Amino acid sequence: MTSENTPQVNTSPQLRIIPNHDASRYELWDGEQYIGFLGVEVLEDGTVDLQHTIVSEQFGRQGYARTLVTRVLDDYRERGVKVRATCSYVQDYMDRFPGYRDLLASTPAPGARD
């Protein structure tokens, strides 16, 4: 990935991603402050559908959504997990940062529309 294609992320030392498997999402926290989440669904073929990215309005336009998506995608890359991008934010992210497109599953999701 070249530097112009590397997403700038929020570097707060208190920032953490917490998997919440019961709610099918990854939550973003800054200390004790809840920021937002990335909703996911693990599909039968082992890929993960990234369904929606939600950041609390007060934290909008501060790089939190980009940070959340980047960290989750980096984790999936390390684990060899392919993804599908149902979420429009993630679709736009993949367009802006093509270095992450290698994570996209090559086959359509079961039940996907043409």
d(C-alpha 52, C-alpha 50), whole Å? 6
Q: List the domain boundaries for the chain.
A: 15-103
Q: How is domain 15-103 classified at the CATH fold level?
A: Aminopeptidase (3.40.630)
pLDDT tens, 28-48? Answer: 999 999 999 999 999 999 999
Structural contact between residues 26 and 84, judged by C-beta atoms closer than 8 angstroms: no
pLDDT tens, 56-66? Answer: 999 888 889 99
What's the whole-model pTM score?
A: 0.85
